[in-house]
Chain A
Amino acid sequence: MNQWGYVIACWVIVIGVLGVYAAIIIGRGRALSRQVPPEDRRWM
Chain B
Amino acid sequence: MTTHLTQSELPPGAAGGRSGDGVPTGTGSRGTRILGLVALLGLVFLGLIGLWASPEDRIQGNLVRILYVHVPSAMLAYLACFITTVGSAVYLWKKSRWWDLVAYASAEIGAVFTGITLVTGMLWGRPTWGVYWVWDARLTSTAMLFLLLLGYLAVRRIPAAAPVRSKRSAIVGLLLVPNVIIVRQSVEWWRTLHQEATLFANGLESEIHGLMLFAWFVGVVVFGVIFAWLLIHRFRLAWLQEQIEEHGLERAIADRRAEADAEAEISGAAEAADPSPTEPGTDSNGEAAR
Contacts and interface: CB of A to CB of B under 8 A. Distances in A.
Interface of A: 1, 3-4, 6-7, 9-11, 13-15, 17-19, 21-23, 25-26, 28-30, 32-36, 38, 40-44
Contact of B26 (A30, A40, A44): A30
A41 B15 CA distance: 15
Nearest to A36: B243
B47 interface: yes
Nearest to B61: A3
If over half of A's interface residues share one DSSP class (helix, strand or loop), that class is named, otherwise mixed; here it is helix
Contacts of A11: 47, 50-51, 65-66, 69
A10 B230 contact: no
Interface stretch (B17-25, B172-180, B193-201, B251-259): B17-25
Interface stretch (B122-130, B151-159, B273-281): B122-130
B29 to A, nearest CB: 4
Contacts, number: 124
Interface size range of chain B in the complex = 35 or more
Nearest to B46: A11
A33 B16 contact: yes
A19 B4 contact: yes
A27 B18 CA distance: 18
Contacts of A30: 15-16, 25-27
Given A6-B66, A14-B73, A25 B234 contact: yes
